[in-house]
């Protein structure tokens, strides 16, 4: 069980990092297609992490709850209120 807990923690961290990278991409210096590709790649990786998480916790609904809690725990991006 502790192996699953640490794997879940690792996936949560991965999701948080990818989400924060995508947020940074929204405010970065790149423009147009480059920005879109960067953000799209981050969202794809979050999707992959979500699928792995759903397999670990047993359901997509439970995985979605974990993702929601993970994203809610992140600080607001710079410039947002």
User: What average pLDDT does the segment 27-41 reach?
Assistant: 76
Q: What is the pLDDT of residues 51-75, one digit of tens each?
A: 999 999 999 999 999 999 999 999 8
For the chain, give the secondary structure using H, E and C: CHHHHHHHHHHHHHHHHHHHHHHHHHHCCCCHHHHHHHHHHHHHHHHHHHHHHHHHHCCHHHHHHHHHHHHHCCCCCCCCC
Mean pLDDT computed over every residue of the chain:
87
Confidence (pLDDT) at 31: 61
The answer to whether residue 80 scores a pLDDT higher than 80 is no
Whether the pTM exceeds 0.85: the reply is no
């Amino acid at each position: 069980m502790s192996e699953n807990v640490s794997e879940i923690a690792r996936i949560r961290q991965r999701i948080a990092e990818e989400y924060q990278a995508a947020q940074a991409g929204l405010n970065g210096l790149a423009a147009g297609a480059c920005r879109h590709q960067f953000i799209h790649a981050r969202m794809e990786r979050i999707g992959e992490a979500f699928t792995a998480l759903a397999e670990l916790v047993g359901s997509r609904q439970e995985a979605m709850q974990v993702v929601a809690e993970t994203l809610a725990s992140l600080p607001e991006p710079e410039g947002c209120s």
